[in-house]
Amino acid sequence: MPSELQFPRSDSGQPTGVPSVAAPSLATAQWCARRGWPVLPLSPGRKTPAANCADCRTSSHAPAQCPCLPAGRWCHGFHAATLDQDRIREWWRERPQFGIGVACGAAGLIVIDIDAHVTEPPARDRILPGIPIGEQVDLTGLTNGFHTLGVLAALRGRTSPDQDTETLRVSTPSGGMHVWYRSDRSWQSSVGSSPARALAWQVDIRAHGSYIVAPGTRVQNGSYTPIGDTREPAQLPAWLAHELERTGHLPAHIPAPRLVPPRARQAVAAASGANGASLTAILAPVHECGRVAEGAGFSDLLNRAAYTLGGLVAAGRLGREEAETVLRDTALQARPGQERRIDAIIRSGLAAGIKRPLHDSGRQP
Mean pLDDT of the region 284-297 = 66
Enter the DSSP assignment of 53. P
How much of the chain, in percent, has pLDDT values that exceed 70? 82
- pLDDT above 60 (res 155): yes
Mapping DSSP to helix (H, G, I), strand (E, B) and coil, where does residue 73 land?
coil
Q: What are the structural domain ranges in the chain? A: 1-251, 262-354
Closest-CA residue to 79 (of 189, 186, 169, 208)? 208
Q: In this structure, are residues 129 and 122 in contact, taking their beta carbons and an 8 Å threshold?
A: no
**Residue 41, H or E segment:** strand 39-42
DSSP state of 271: S
pLDDT at 2: 30
Q: CA 25 to CA 84: how far, in whole Å? A: 16
User: Mind listing the pLDDT tens digit for each residue in 164-183?
Assistant: 999 999 999 999 999 999 99
CB 272 within 8 A of CB 280: no
Cα(296)–Cα(288) distance, integer angstroms = 9
Average pLDDT over every residue of 58-63: 82
Instruction: Please name which of 235, 244, 237, 253 lies closest in space to residue 206, comparing C-alpha atoms.
Output: 244
Read off the pLDDT of each residue in 187-194 and give the average, rounded to a whole number.
85
pLDDT in tens, 305-327: 898 888 888 888 888 888 888 89
| pLDDT of the residue at 291 | 61
Quick one: three-class SS letters along 153-174?
Answer: HHHHCCCCHHHCCCCCEEECCC
Decide which of 290 and 322 is more confident: 322
Segment among 59-73, 78-92, 228-242, 274-288 with least mean pLDDT: 274-288
pLDDT computed for residue 363 by the predictor: 37
Res. 253 pLDDT band, cuts 50 70 90 = low
Report which DSSP code applies to 80.
G
What are the CA-CA distances from residue 72 to residues 1, 214, 357 (Å)? 35, 21, 31
Dihedral of the alpha carbons of 326, 328, 332, 333, in degrees to the nearest 10? 0
Mean pLDDT of 6-24: 42
Q: Interior CA angle at 285 toward 281 and 291, to 5°?
A: 135
φ and ψ at residue 23, rounded to 5 degrees: -105, 130
39-58 burial: b if 16+ Cβ within 10 Å, else e: bbbbeeeebebbebbeebee
What are the residues whose beta carbons fall under 8 Å from the beta carbon of 45, sequence distance 6 or more? 97, 99, 218, 219, 220
Q: What angle do CA 170, 110, 254 make, to 5 degrees?
A: 175
CB 116, CB 145: distance < 8 Å:
yes
What average pLDDT does range 49-76 have in this prediction? 84
- In angstroms, the CA 108 to CA 102 distance is 11
